[in-house]
Structure formats: structure tokens, C-alpha cells
Structure 1
Amino acid sequence: MIRIIKATMMENQRGWYLLYCKGKEEVRALTNLKNQGIDSFFPTMKVEKVVRKKLTCVDVVIFPNYLFVEIDAQTANFNSIRSTRGVIDFVKCGANYTKVPTSLITELKSKQLLRDKAPNETSLFNHGDKVVIQDGAFKGIEAIYQCKDGLERSILLINLINKTAEMSIANAEIKNKPEA
């Protein structure tokens, strides 16, 4: 019975805290904290972007420059954590370190797990969006986005000489039509 109470007390002392990291060094901080045996986490999401004229999925940090760490406030070496490469300091409210609810971290982790397992269905354009062709033989022509045609191309409906034609165009050659 006493062991159970002690274990419960020990668990209650552990908590999640918020760290502020150097720009784009969340992964570096995460790696160095894991090397110290500290559980840390930063949520990401997959975003589809055009990189070098190709549509690719990229992991983007949801909270840039921030990292969550789980530590025991009674036994943790806060100076060691603060001096970890990639970390600037703990986020504080006055003199107190900002503690993050465990329920929030649990929810962020579960949503991240679901996003990572789900097939990537994000797209730069939605069915029916009005787009303008930016390059090639049809430069300047308005079209209606239909669907993806692989990673690098999309199918568009184009009105040519009063006849609607469906054609496949490179993603790098189209952009959303600005609203008038």
C-alpha cells in the first residue's frame, strides 16, 4: 500500500514543461534531450508544397521554436536542460516555469499519430477551384481544377473555342485565380 502511494506521488511530480528553442533547431534540441534521457515532443503535420517544381509532402512544425519536455520538477537539472544545444530557455510566467497539462500533450500525440497513419489527402487546390495557368502554351488561360494526376501534375478543365477540354498540367504551372 505504501509503495502504491509513493509511486503515485512520484508520478504526480512529473509534468510537461514548455521550452523555447533556437530557430529551426527543434530537432537538434529533441535529439540532445533524448541523449540526456529526457522525454520531449513537438507536434508536426504533413503539408503539400511545390518544391523545385514538384509537389512534395513536407513535415512542418505546428509550434515553431517550441518543444515540450516531461521532467520531474523535484529532481530535474533545469540548468542542464536550459544549456542543451538548440534550447534557449524554459517558457516562464513570471518566475514560474510554464507547466503544460498532460491531457493536452496526450491529445496532441494521439492526433499526430492519426495524421501520420492516415493517407495524405491534402492538396494545394480543391475540386472546382478557379486557377490560372502560369507557364507553357496555355499561359494566362483560366481553368477549373479537377483532381491530382500523380505528384507533379493536375487535371484541369479548360474552355477553348467554346468547348470544354480536360487536360493534365504540371502543378508548378498553375496558381489560384485571385478573387475579383
Structure 2
Amino acid sequence: MTAPVAVQRNQTAHWYCVHTKPRAEAQALEHLQRQAFECLLPRIQHSVLRGGRRQRVVEPLFPRYLFLRANPEQQSLAAVRSTRGALGLVRFANLPGIVPQSLIDGLHRDTDAQGVIVQADAHPQPGDAVTVIAGALAGLRGVYWQMRGDQRAEVLLQLLGGAQRVLLAQESLQKAGPAQLS
């Protein structure tokens, strides 16, 4: 009775995780697709601070990894090892690890047509309500005023009977709900 289950299981394709060389995810993706493998390289778009200016960058969501779908009964997985940019499949106990379909479905759901997850800008903009999450002023709410350098921000806080401009570390702030001084 176990033989039909094994035959049925082997006739379906599974998702596997491919370990790539550093910064070679796109190269491995291209060469695996040329070999008729279905692949997924989830990427994320976010902003970074370079030279005092915010820039949008697109990078792999999982650096040095991508996903490959194959049926080992119909396609040899051994070819992955010799593919340009790829080091091989992620293995457990010398067997290729199978990636859960639910993870792949979630990645497909969260990506756009180009396979990019657009991350909302987590940094506050002038006029945004913020909460201080670290330091002596933790718990206070205020209004983000402006960036000062690349790691500090000027914030309006209700202190000493009025709105005061305070310089705080950027990482000690978190966006909050509607702007108001408390």
C-alpha cells in the first residue's frame, strides 16, 4: 500500500532552495531558466541613505538564495550544481530540502509582476506623527520636523509647557498614527 503513495508523491513537482554564489542570484536565475526550470527570485525594493540622500534600491529578499520548482523524476537536479552562479541545492541529511508551497504562495501574493516586494518607506517624513521608542523620552509622541545628518532627526515634542524642538537618534523614532502633540 505504501508504493502507490510513493509513486504519487514522486509525480508532483516540488519547490527547492538553491544556494548561489555571492551577488550571483540573477545569473543563476537566468541559467536555471535556460535549463527549463521554473524559478522564483523574490526581490525587495526599499530606500537606503547614500551620501545624505535617500535612494530606492531593489535587492534579493534572501541574499544568495532563490527557489526552483522541479519534478526529480522528470528533470535531473544534479544540473543545478554545475549551473553558473549556483552552488547547489540546500540539503538536509544529504537530501534536497523541499520548500513548503505555502511559503511560495505567500511570496507570489506579496510580489508585483516583476517579482518585487515594495516595502513601505519606514522612515518618517516631515509632518508625520512619531513615537519615541528608546532613550529618556521613550513613550512620548511628537511631530517629525526634519532630518539632521544621516542618523539624527529634529522632532517637535510637547515639553516644559510648549512644543520644543529636540534632536533624537533616527532609530529611536517610529511612525505613529495621525500627527498631534500629546
Give the residue type in structure 1 aligned to 2:102: S
Look up the SS of the partner of 2:19 in the other structure. Answer: strand
Quote the residue 1:127 is aligned against. Answer: 129
Equivalent residue runs for 1:63-74 within 5 Å:
63-74=62-73
Quote the residue 1:98 is aligned against. Answer: 97
- Does the alignment pair 1:62 with 2:61? yes
Quote the residue 2:83 is aligned against. Answer: 84
Residues 100 and 79 of structure 1: CA distance in aligned 2, closer, same or farther (over 3 Å): same
- Consecutive unaligned residues in structure 1, runs of 5 or more: 1-8, 131-142, 149-154, 167-173
CA RMSD of aligned residues (A): 3.7
Residues 121 and 127 of structure 1: CA distance in aligned 2, closer, same or farther (over 3 Å): farther
Look up the SS of the partner of 2:83 in the other structure. Answer: coil
1:109-140 deviation line (CA, Å, top 9, x unaligned): 1112399586x64133363367xxxxxxxxxx
Q: Find the aligned partners of 2:10 and 2:70 in 1 and give their Cα distance.
A: 10
Give the % identical residues.
20
1:29-52 deviation line (CA, Å, top 9, x unaligned): 111111222111122222111123
Residues 73 and 11 of structure 1: CA distance in aligned 2, closer, same or farther (over 3 Å): closer
Which structure features the higher share of helix residues?
A: 1
Equivalent residue runs for 1:1-180 within 5 Å:
12-113=11-112, 116=116, 121-125=120-124, 127-128=129-130, 145-146=144-145, 176=170
Q: Find the aligned partners of 2:57 and 2:10 in 1 and give their Cα distance.
A: 36
Q: Find the aligned partners of 2:24 and 2:116 in 1 and give their Cα distance.
A: 22
User: Would you identify which runs of 4 or more consecutive aligned residues in structure 1 move more than 6 Å?
Assistant: 163-166
Look up the SS of the partner of 1:103 in the other structure. Answer: helix
Quote the residue 2:3 is aligned against. Answer: none
- Consecutive unaligned residues in structure 2, runs of 5 or more: 1-7, 133-141, 148-152, 174-182
Count of equivalent residues: 143
Q: CA deviation at 1:147?
A: 7.3
Q: Find the aligned partners of 2:97 and 2:171 in 1 and give their Cα distance.
A: 44
